[in-house]
Structure 1
Amino acid sequence: MSDTPPEKPAVKKRAPAVKKATATTAAKPAAAKPVGKAAPKAAAVTPAIAAPASAPPAKVAAKPGPKPKVPTRHRAKPASRAPAKPRTTPVAKPALLAKPSIKQAAVVAAGTGGVLAALGAAFFLWRASKADQPDYKLIERDGDFEIREYPGLVTAATEARGPRDAALERGFKILADYIFAKSRNGEKIAMTAPVLSDGSSKSGWRTRFIMPAGKTRADLPTPPSGVTLANEPPRRVAAVRFSGRADDADLAAKEGALRSWLELRTFPSEGLAEHAFYNSPVMPGPLRRNEVIITLSTR
């Protein structure tokens, strides 16, 4: 019995502790009240932030404006490049061998023989471009092979013996001295193309210059010894055209190809083959025009 009374006050002492704890726990929500009060402040701030967001709708709408211009530029680029393709495609220029420009001759010659060769090639090319060529009627063309009809021509000819190159060089000089009035008196005669050569090392090589159109033998100055003037009748010929320096092997190969072509086409031929050179010896090989010509029989 004596033990019971002391226990009661102990309970009483604990009760206030619980109350304090309860008060403490109750005090916590009191501290949280300011948080609840802060919430409206945030709500007040939120509209302040949202207000500028609604203010710049014009700016946002203005930004997408330039965006469509970007695809427009990208579309315009291929349109500008498209016309450039056909311009670069015909970079080929297929008529280099027929009539190359002075600039092309100078570039090729500069790579093969330096500045002097370039100037020489340009000069002779300019001179050759001014040279007249005899008119002819084209009858048929098959690749590099052609059938032509030439009118009557007046030629100046000379002969020389020895290897073909050496004989052609001597014959060319003799005829050049005649037309340029170095071996005679009087006026010069215009240079024409091509220079014709035919013959063999055994019988000798004949070199011929074609006189300008409209000139007759009576119109021409009297030639020196070793040069003869002749009237050549109209004729039909077969010709094969090629470039390069035209050495003996090339000329023989082209003649063989031309004769084989004539046999396949059943064109009768007669006489020896002739070589036609359209350019000066200083002209670079790729820019030269050479031909092998065979006279066709009229039978």
Structure 2
Amino acid sequence: MKNIAHILFGFVLAFIQIGNAMAIEEPKYQVVIKDGDFELRRYESMIIAEVVVTGDLSEASNRGFRQVADYIFGNNEDPLKKQAEKIEMTAPVTVESDLSSKIAMTAPVTVESQGGNQQATWKLSFVMPSKYSLETLPKPKNKNIVIREIKSHDLAVVRFSGFVDEEKMQAQTKRLEAWLKQQTLTAQGAVQLSRYNPPWTLPFFRRNEIWLRVESKSQ
């Protein structure tokens, strides 16, 4: 049943790839270090919409995804026009969890674990398109959805392909943590799993990433 999460996460990305070949916006960043599958990126500030959900990783991801997708599809109110507005989807869809790491928590686009068991509490969030500010972004009608800004920050990233379950997420997290030690970087954030592809993408074409927030590295 874990592949259900992959399908749901891919749904919104798929719908904006159909028809006109419109580019999917990703959060803006600069590459500070590139080393094979690993990168250190400096992300610009971003606005996220997040919701708290419970359950195991798959269940919580599905519940949170449906709520935030409902918000961007129009269950909102434009602060100026006083009417619903469809918000463009960005990529990737990111699941944030501390189940696979003991590193202290912070948070982008995410599901964030608040516990260490199969019924943990999570936060799932999408990054909002960069054209919006906190003042112009449509307000969610679902009171469970919180809008907040994340300031500029550095992320350590490892990229890999295939389908992802919790075991694979943990294995890739260990790879990234080992690379952090080699680079003498200190992690500050929770483990984040980011997925970029629609559900029909073949496993070896899939782009997945594990993200860890780190102390800023001077340029």
TM-score bin (small chain) = 0.7 to 0.9
Q: 2:197, 2:53 → 1: CA distance? A: 20
What are the equivalent positions in structure 2 for 1:17-166 lying under 5 Å apart? 124=15, 126-127=17-18, 130-166=23-59
Q: Give SS of 1:293's match.
A: strand
Q: Is the 8 A contact 2:76 2:138 kept in 1?
A: no
Q: 2:49, 2:211 → 1: CA distance? A: 18
CA shift for structure 1 position 243: 1.1
Summarize the Cα distance change of 1:123–1:156 in structure 2 as closer, same or farther, 3 Å threshold.
closer
Name 2:178's counterpart in structure 1: 260
Summarize the Cα distance change of 1:283–1:233 in structure 2 as closer, same or farther, 3 Å threshold.
same
Matched, 1:284 2:177: no
Q: Is the 8 A contact 1:125 1:279 kept in 2?
A: no
Mean alpha-carbon deviation: is it higher for 195-204 or for 289-298? 195-204
User: Looking at both structures, which has the greater relative contact order when contacts are Cα pairs under 8 Å and sequence separation is at least 6?
Assistant: 2
Q: Which amino acid aligns with 1:225?
A: K
Q: 2:157, 2:178 → 1: CA distance? A: 12
Which runs of 5 or more structure 1 residues have no equivalent in the other structure?
1-119
CA shift for structure 1 position 226: 1.1
Instruction: Note the alpha carbon deviations across 1:101-128, whole angstroms, 9 max, x for none.
Output: xxxxxxxxxxxxxxxxxxx9x9558259
1:234 to 137, 152, 155: 152
Q: Is the 8 A contact 1:240 1:293 kept in 2?
A: yes
Summarize the Cα distance change of 1:141–1:287 in structure 2 as closer, same or farther, 3 Å threshold.
same
Name 1:189's counterpart in structure 2: 87
Matched, 1:244 2:162: yes
CA shift for structure 1 position 144: 0.3
Tell me the C-alpha RMSD between the 2 structures: 2.4
Summarize the Cα distance change of 1:226–1:284 in structure 2 as closer, same or farther, 3 Å threshold.
farther
Instruction: Note the alpha carbon deviations across 1:41-69, whole angstroms, 9 max, x for none.
Output: xxxxxxxxxxxxxxxxxxxxxxxxxxxxx
Larger Rg: 1
CA shift for structure 1 position 280: 3.1
Instruction: Note the alpha carbon deviations across 1:246-270, whole angstroms, 9 max, x for none.
Output: 1111110000000011112211111
Name 2:110's counterpart in structure 1: none
Q: Is the 8 A contact 2:68 2:126 kept in 1?
A: yes
Q: Give SS of 2:65's match.
A: helix
Name 1:174's counterpart in structure 2: 67
Q: Which amino acid aligns with 2:54?
A: R
Q: Give SS of 1:196's match.
A: strand
Q: 2:153, 2:64 → 1: CA distance? A: 24
TM-score under structure 1 length normalisation: 0.56
Q: Which amino acid aligns with 2:196?
A: Y
Q: 2:76, 2:163 → 1: CA distance? A: 29
2:96 to 194, 198, 209: 198
Q: Is the 8 A contact 2:38 2:176 kept in 1?
A: yes
Summarize the Cα distance change of 1:167–1:280 in structure 2 as closer, same or farther, 3 Å threshold.
farther
Instruction: Note the alpha carbon deviations across 1:163-205, whole angstroms, 9 max, x for none.
Output: 1112111111111110011466511001101112213345422
Q: Give SS of 2:139's match.
A: coil
Q: Give SS of 2:135's match.
A: helix
Which runs of 5 or more structure 2 residues have no equivalent in the other structure?
1-10, 78-82, 98-112
Q: 2:60, 2:22 → 1: CA distance? A: 25
Q: Which has the higher strand share?
A: 2
Q: Is the 8 A contact 1:124 1:283 kept in 2?
A: no
Instruction: Note the alpha carbon deviations across 1:1-27, whole angstroms, 9 max, x for none.
Output: xxxxxxxxxxxxxxxxxxxxxxxxxxx
Q: Is the 8 A contact 1:125 1:283 kept in 2?
A: no
